[in-house]
């Protein structure tokens, strides 16, 4: 059975790749939709290679012309812990629906049975497209829109990032290859919302984050 | 109130543009996803200019690498009247969902209230993403995925192509600017499914199709 999954190069989708490959033939799809930097694209490729799964990088930077967010423009990235207000500017409108529907089209083209993404419980307060209601609705849209039994998998939808890392440590996910920071400098900044959340999740596992940070962590 | 609509350059979306502009500020979005020819893209631009609405052409030809269909490959276009079997190869998997979700992201970026497309009753036997169940499901996906009241409009969903043309003739839609033929030659072929359906719909209105055909019609 084949599954197409969205691979961003971060902790969550890297863990998803290792989790899915226990049971599925995994096709990773990484989409460049005009994120600020290429470090996470490179991380995605490195993770896919390490996992030994098929992968494609799709250049959709042209979408950046249409969709407005601080991730795709030159607006500054908000610092500090995630909050609905501080991270609002990082919401690319309708992003996951766009990417998952493209993944679904790709899945049908290669005869895959499912699409998957790594939405998780920490994201759901901020990002509506990381909530179960969205997953359920999108599953309906895929079912009716394609007249197939294509499944939408979101196995981490009610799981915290700390629990994802707990699973990933068991699965020996090479977290040193992943990239989460919203800034694209040589080392992770350690201050943006995603760095803060990542560090906290490793700490909750009493584990060390193997990547390098600009600040003492 | 603003609406973003998918404009292909064919009869249906041209009529939709003229219908919507009675009440809305219309932003047309034309997507080049690797269709066989540019004639329909040019038709879309010509219709938008004639209607005096805003328009954008988005180059997503890169999607052709992922999505397989006779519209985006060099496979021959099936001839004769539309049937589920003959037209199956013209289904780009999950196309409308991809395009409508992109349109939705664009709509949210410009503060629009709705997205619209011209799915109609003739298409529903063949294309699952032209059915009311899909529209309903996608509306749910947009609602939950964006946490907004963005509306999905499909005013022709239960209307035949002949009725669309009846409306369009009243609204003085410049059908001479539209293009429907799946082949991209100088004149419409008159033999492919979409030509046959178009000619039939004009005939049902006892009206003359103003475009030129390769065959006697």
What integer pLDDT is reported at residue A201 of this predicted model?
A: 97
Each residue of B92-131: b (16+ CB within 10 Å) or e?
bbbbbbbbbbbbbbbbbbeebbbbbbbbbbbbbebbbbbb
What integer pLDDT is reported at residue A85 of this predicted model?
A: 47
What integer pLDDT is reported at residue A92 of this predicted model?
A: 75
Cβ distance B102 to A145 less than 8 Å, yes or no, reads no
Determine how many CB atoms are found less than 10 A away from the CB of residue A7. Answer: 32
Q: Which chain A residues contact residue B60 at CB under 8 A?
A: 60, 62
Cβ distance B140 to A142 less than 8 Å, yes or no, reads no
Cβ distance A94 to B58 less than 8 Å, yes or no, reads no
Cβ distance B93 to A144 less than 8 Å, yes or no, reads no
Dihedral, CA atoms, B72, B129, B107, B159, nearest 10 degrees?
A: 110
Q: Report how far apart, in Å, the C-alpha atoms of A77 and of each of A34, A43, A124, A125, A192 are.
A: 14, 20, 20, 19, 7
Q: Report how far apart, in Å, the C-alpha atoms of A56 and of each of A152, B1, B29, B66, B72 are.
A: 19, 39, 27, 9, 19
What integer pLDDT is reported at residue B33 of this predicted model?
A: 84
> Among A50-64, A90-104, A163-177, which is the least confidently predicted range?
A90-104
- The two three-digit tokens of residue A64, written as one number: 């950046």
What integer pLDDT is reported at residue B86 of this predicted model?
A: 46
CATH 1.10.150.250, domain B2-204, yes or no: no
Indicate if the pLDDT at residue A171 is higher than 90. yes
**Mean predicted confidence (pLDDT) in A156-163:** 96
Phi/psi class of residue B112: alpha, beta or left (left: φ > 0; alpha: ψ in -120 to 50)? Answer: beta
The whole-angstrom separation of Cα B78 and Cα B63 is: 22
What integer pLDDT is reported at residue B190 of this predicted model?
A: 95
A64 against B167, higher pLDDT:
B167
Length of chain A: 217
pTM to 2 decimals?
Answer: 0.90
Task: Note the ipTM here.
Answer: 0.88
- pLDDT level of residue A83 (50, 70, 90 thresholds): low
Cβ distance B128 to A144 less than 8 Å, yes or no, reads yes
What integer pLDDT is reported at residue A187 of this predicted model?
A: 94
Tens of pLDDT along A22-54? 999 999 999 998 775 788 899 999 999 999 999
Indicate if the pLDDT at residue A167 is higher than 90. yes
Indicate if the pLDDT at residue A81 is higher than 70. no
Dihedral, CA atoms, B93, A52, A5, A203, nearest 10 degrees?
A: -170
Tell me the sheet residues that pair with B25: B2
Tens of pLDDT along A176-190? 999 999 888 899 999
Q: Which chain A residues contact residue B73 at CB under 8 A?
A: none
Beta-carbon contacts below 8 Å between A and B: 133
> Which residue ranges in chain B fall short of pLDDT 70?
36, 69-91
The contact set of B with A (CB < 8 A) is 56, 58-60, 62-63, 65-68, 92-98, 101-102, 104-106, 108-109, 128-129, 131, 133-134, 136-138, 140-147
Task: Give the distance from residue B171's alpha carbon to the nearest chain A alpha carbon, in angstroms.
Answer: 30
């Amino acid at each position: 059975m084949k599954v197409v999954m969205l691979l961003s190069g971060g902790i969550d989708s890297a863990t998803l790749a290792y989790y899915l490959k226990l049971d599925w033939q995994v096709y990773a799809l990484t989409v460049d939709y005009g994120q600020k930097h290429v470090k996470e694209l490179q991380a995605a490729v490195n993770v896919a290679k390490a996992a030994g799964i098929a992968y494609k990088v799709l250049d959709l930077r042209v979408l950046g012309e249409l969709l407005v967010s601080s991730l795709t423009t030159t607006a500054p990235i908000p610092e500090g812990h995630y909050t609905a207000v501080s991270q609002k500017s990082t919401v690319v409108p309708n992003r996951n629906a766009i990417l998952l529907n493209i993944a679904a089209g790709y899945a049908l083209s290669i005869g895959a049975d499912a699409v998957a993404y790594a939405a998780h419980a920490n994201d759901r307060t901020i990002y509506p497209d990381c909530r179960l209601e969205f997953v359920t609705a999108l599953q309906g849209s895929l079912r009716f829109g394609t007249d197939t039994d294509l499944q939408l998998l979101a196995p981490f939808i009610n799981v915290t990032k700390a629990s994802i890392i707990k699973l990933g440590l068991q699965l020996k996910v090479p977290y040193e290859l992943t990239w989460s920071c919203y800034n694209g400098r040589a080392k992770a900044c350690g201050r943006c919302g995603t760095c803060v959340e990542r560090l906290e999740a490793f700490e909750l596992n009493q584990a060390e984050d193997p990547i390098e940070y600009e600040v003492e962590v």
